């Protein structure tokens, strides 16, 4: 996956702990806490990648002992983005279908 900081700066990362509310992104160069970023995720139920606006809530810069990365909170999801994200979570095992 990729994420965008500002208008043009795009960086690569790996998504962990993805949920309907936010995610942890492992990356070599995390943005600062409080930064606004856009996560760009491929979803099996959407034609175009999901572009989800987020706020960086915390940053972990351990690096040597563990993953560097940052936690985000999704700030706005349209109904269509929410449905596509839910489908992505179901297909990847981050979310189980309710009984």
Q: What is the distance between the alpha carbons of residues 17 and 21, in angstroms, rounded to a whole number?
A: 10
pLDDT tens per residue, range 58-98 = 998 775 666 789 999 999 888 988 888 888 888 877 666 65
Strand partners, 44: none
Under 8 Å between Cβ of 56 and 71: yes
Superfamily of domain 2-92: predicted glycosyltransferase like domains (2.40.10.220)
The answer for residues whose C-beta is within 8 angstroms of residue 2's C-beta and 6 or more apart is 10, 11, 12, 13, 40
pLDDT tens per residue, range 14-42 = 988 899 999 999 998 899 999 999 999 88
């Amino acid at each position: 996956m990729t994420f965008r900081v500002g208008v043009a700066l795009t960086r690569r990362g790996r998504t962990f702990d993805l949920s309907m509310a936010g995610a942890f992104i492992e990356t070599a160069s995390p943005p600062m806490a409080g930064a606004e970023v856009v996560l760009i995720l491929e979803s099996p139920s959407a034609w175009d990648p999901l572009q989800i606006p987020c706020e960086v809530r915390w940053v972990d810069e351990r690096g040597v002992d563990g993953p560097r990365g940052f936690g985000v909170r999704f700030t706005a999801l349209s109904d269509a983005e929410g449905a596509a994200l839910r489908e992505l979570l179901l297909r990847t095992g981050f979310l189980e279908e309710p009984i």
